[in-house]
């Protein structure tokens, strides 16, 4: 039994040594691992986003629309040929007066649409507004993606901070465990107190492992969000986030959308009037047109003319279209007014939260300084056996709680700054 007991203790000692060695190697790798900052993930995320590429292509497409309008104002040339044969057999067949029995037609047609200059300029403005809208939508989508990436980076960075803190406490407990064990063997502490100390170490190992798992999960989610396929694990650098000064609500990207929508509605309203203006087009053709009845070899010729269309009455559809524009403008104004209230409330709330977090952080830092001093003092007493293990663990737990709260408030502060910058971007 004695041999078995000594063998079991020897195995446990080896297991603890292996765990300590593995943790030491991991921390060494973590400290010497390649670091990566927030800008890297933002650059990769924006570069790999198919949505942002889509908006860039929309801008290119809008430029082509402008070129098509310009091309449509030039002379249009078409070639056409109509050939038919309608025989009359024993008096049966189509009326010869209508069909001429046979018809051959081959002509080159030239046409030119006459568009009033103001109408043409309004169409060009519509293309420009469409282009501006696509650029703005791309900027808004880029801003949304940046906010999401930053939020995920902050989440992963917080997990890393929690893991490092709990690993630090775990290493402290492991170092003190050797001293406590010797003191317990010499009768300074009870065996149950030593076992209680060991139980705290095992509990701390589980907590550190949980934060390690959480960091890996959120880090992989960050890579997935940015379109990065890389199994290398980097150490995340503290995000360099500072609150941008407010440019004023009317200068934000969000408010610019309402301005562009207003100009698009004005443009569409003018286009309704232009569409009801008289339309004039010129045409000319030349070629061969014959029924093959009389001197078909002389049926080469030309023709020219113009077409004029003047709208007179369409059941008041023009006014109906103007009314639809008025309804759209009313909707736009309602959204704009709601945004004004929402923006002011949101900025005021974020500023209040930021102020409160700064106040709590200051008090927590003071508390942390006290707990660190108490842990250092109790560690000296623990090494001489002049303090109970319970009191030492309590002081260490107070330090852990204060440091956890400090990390929590730092992460919350990053999140609030990210949100403020999102609303204030111009």
- Residue 290: count other Cβ atoms within 10 Å of its Cβ: 19
Rounded-to-integer distance, Cα 396 and Cα 379, Å: 9
For residue 5, name the pLDDT band (cuts at 50, 70, 90). Answer: very low
| Res 24: pLDDT | 52
Assign a CATH topology to domain 74-114+278-310: Outer membrane efflux proteins (OEP) (2.20.200)
- 108/171: higher pLDDT: 171
Q: Could you tell me which residues come within 8 angstroms of residue 163 by beta carbon, excluding any fewer than 6 positions away?
A: 208, 211, 212, 214, 215
Share the mean pLDDT of the chain: 83
- Whether the CB-CB separation of 332 and 262 falls below 8 Å is answered with yes
Which tokens belong to 66? 């402008």
Angle at 116 between CA 278 and CA 273, to 5 degrees: 55
Q: Is the pLDDT of residue 15 over 50?
A: no
Q: What is the pLDDT of residue 74?
A: 76
Measured CA angle at 327 (ends 326, 331), to 5 deg: 115
Residue 309 in contact with residue 267, Cβ under 8 Å?
no
What is the value of pTM for the model shown? 0.80
Nearest Cα to 408, choosing from 37, 35, 155? 155
Q: What digits encode the pLDDT tens for the residues 40-50?
A: 999 999 999 88
Query: Whose structure tokens read 């104002």?
Result: 73
In angstroms, what CA-CA distances link 280 with 59, 68, 156, 286, 307? 32, 20, 66, 21, 6
Tell me, yes or no, if the two domains 33-73+115-276+311-424 and 74-114+278-310 fold the same way.
no
Q: Where are the domains of the chain?
A: 33-73+115-276+311-424, 74-114+278-310
Fold of 33-73+115-276+311-424: Outer membrane efflux proteins (OEP) (1.20.1600)
For the segment 210-228, the average pLDDT, to the nearest whole number, is: 93
Residue 351: pLDDT above 50? yes
Residue 204 vs residues 61, 99, 284, 332, 391: alpha-carbon distances, Å: 59, 100, 92, 57, 17
pLDDT greater than 50 at residue 8: no
pLDDT by residue (tens digit) across 75-95? 778 888 877 877 878 878 777
């Amino acid at each position: 039994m004695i041999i078995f007991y000594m063998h079991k203790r020897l195995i446990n000692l080896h297991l603890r040594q292996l765990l300590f060695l593995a943790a030491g190697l991991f921390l060494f790798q973590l400290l010497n691992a390649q670091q990566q900052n927030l800008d890297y993930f933002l650059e990769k995320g924006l570069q790999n986003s198919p949505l942002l590429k889509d908006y860039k292509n929309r801008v290119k497409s809008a430029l082509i629309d402008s070129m098509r309008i310009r091309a449509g104002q030039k002379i249009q040339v078409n070639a056409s040929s109509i050939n038919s044969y309608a025989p009359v057999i024993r008096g049966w067949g189509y009326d010869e007066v209508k069909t001429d029995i046979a018809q051959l037609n081959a002509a080159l047609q030239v046409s030119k649409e006459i568009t009033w200059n103001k109408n043409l300029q309004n169409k060009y403005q519509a293309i420009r507004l469409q282009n501006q809208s696509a650029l703005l939508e791309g900027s808004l989508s880029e801003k949304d993606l940046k906010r999401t990436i930053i939020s995920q980076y902050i989440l992963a960075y917080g997990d890393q901070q929690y893991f490092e803190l709990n690993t630090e406490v775990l290493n402290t407990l492991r170092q003190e465990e050797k001293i406590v064990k010797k003191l317990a063997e010499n009768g300074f502490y009870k065996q149950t107190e030593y076992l209680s100390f060991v139980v705290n170490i095992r509990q701390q190992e589980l907590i550190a492992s949980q934060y390690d798992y959480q960091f890996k999960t959120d880090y992989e989610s960050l890579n997935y969000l940015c379109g990065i396929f890389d199994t290398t694990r980097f150490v995340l650098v503290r995000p360099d986030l500072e609150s941008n000064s407010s440019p004023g609500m009317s200068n934000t990207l969000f408010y610019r959308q309402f301005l562009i929508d207003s100009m698009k509605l004005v443009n569409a309203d003018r286009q309704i009037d232009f569409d009801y203006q008289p339309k004039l087009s010129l045409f000319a053709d030349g070629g061969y047109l014959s029924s093959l009845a009389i001197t078909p070899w002389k049926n080469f010729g030309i023709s020219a003319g113009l077409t004029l269309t003047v709208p007179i009455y369409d059941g008041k559809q023009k006014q109906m279209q103007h009314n639809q524009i008025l309804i759209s403008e009313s909707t736009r104004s309602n959204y704009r007014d709601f945004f004004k209230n929402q923006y002011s409330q949101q900025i005021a709330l974020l500023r209040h939260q930021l102020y409160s977090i700064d106040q709590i952080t200051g008090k927590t830092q003071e508390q942390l300084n006290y707990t660190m001093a108490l842990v250092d003092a109790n560690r000296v007493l623990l090494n001489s056996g002049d303090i109970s293990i319970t009191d030492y663990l309590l002081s260490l737990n107070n330090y852990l709680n204060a440091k956890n709260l400090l990390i929590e408030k730092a992460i919350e502060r990053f999140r609030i700054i990210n949100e403020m910058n999102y609303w204030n971007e111009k």
